[in-house]
Amino acid sequence: MAMMTAALKDGEPTSEINTTPLIDVMLVLLIMLIVTIPPQRQAVKMDTPRPNPDAIVKPTEPVRISVDFDGSYRWNGTPVTLAELDQRLAVEARRAVQPEIHIEPHRLAAYHYVVAVMASAQRFGLQKLGVEGGVT
């Protein structure tokens, strides 16, 4: 209850209105208004697709192609030549779900060795291709 006292001259009465009860009444009326308004119950009919458990495709393991500093290649740890690499990329490109191709170049590998792998993957239409940090 805020009340202001001021120094009165010659015994004059103060004519201040106490607004606290007015504010309390307004808040009660506002709460009653909010409670009594009916909620809007609009329904939007949507035809959503039903999940098909047979159509769920499991992600394949990524193919890791390592490029060594001397230009040698490894397919998931197995040494391969560039011709064998092209054959394996062609097989992976024909799959229904293409795997991710992760190229892991050695930090001292020449750029053209890495670009040769990227060009082969692009030539066969592989979409998911990434270069990971250099192997030490």
Please give the Cα distance from 61 to 58 (Å, whole number): 10
What does the pLDDT look like over 78-91, one tens digit per residue?
Answer: 999 999 999 999 99
Q: Is the pLDDT of residue 55 over 90?
A: no
CATH number at residue 112: 3.30.420.270
Within a domain: 49 = no
As for how many domains the chain has, the answer is 1
Q: Which of 129, 130, 69, 53 is nearest to 105 (CA)?
A: 69
* pLDDT value of position 135: 54
Residue 90 belongs to domain spanning: 59-131
Within a domain: 75 = yes
Within a domain: 10 = no
Q: Is the pLDDT of residue 95 over 80?
A: yes
| Token output for 65 | 């192609």
In a 10 Å sphere around its CB, with 0-12 CB exposed, 13-18 middle and 19+ buried, how is residue 105 labelled?
buried
Least confident of 11-15, 59-63, 92-96, 98-102: 11-15
Within a domain: 72 = yes
In a 10 Å sphere around its CB, with 0-12 CB exposed, 13-18 middle and 19+ buried, how is residue 120 labelled?
buried
Within a domain: 16 = no
| Token output for 117 | 């792998």
* pLDDT value of position 127: 87
103 band by pLDDT with thresholds 50, 70 and 90: very high
| Token output for 94 | 């024909």
Within a domain: 90 = yes
Within a domain: 1 = no
